[in-house]
Amino acid sequence: MSVVTAKLALGTQGETDCLDITAEVAGAVAESGLRNGVMHLFVVGSTAGITTIEFEPGCVHDLAELFERIAPQGADYRHHERWGDHNGHSHMRASLLGPHLAVPFVDGELTLGTWQQIILVDFDDRPRERTVVVQMIGE
């Protein structure tokens, strides 16, 4: 059993920007030299999250709309009082989505469905440079 760690550096636009990172993650698995195991992703920071989705414009739009209904950008958040910034919605949205995802890989390939892509969603209110840690455990 081996552990291999890689990092992805990604630029985002904020405001529920969705990036399809499937190819980058698959590349990290391929470069690891591992054939079978589990790949775990973790986005560093408290205003972004990771999940899977069918990455097409309709689903991406619907996901953004869903988060706007659940945690509206214009709502009053106590977080604003503490720091004077206005990204409380970003923190709430990211906490709902979560910062990590695990995907098994078999014969060096991620076990994703045909219409299933891995996405990073940046909820912050400004562009950011994001780091995603890709850790693979396997043989």
Domains and CATH numbers, the chain: 2-138 (2.60.120.460)
Average pLDDT rounded to a whole number, residues 71-79: 93
Which 3 state secondary structure label does DSSP give 72? coil
Average pLDDT rounded to a whole number, residues 91-109: 98
Average pLDDT rounded to a whole number, residues 114-137: 98
Q: Which residues pair with 52 in a beta bridge?
A: 118
Q: How is residue 11 written in tokens?
A: 């630029």
Q: Is the pTM of this model over 0.75?
A: yes
Out of 12-16, 25-29, 50-54, 83-87, least confident range: 83-87
Q: Is the pLDDT of residue 19 over 90?
A: yes
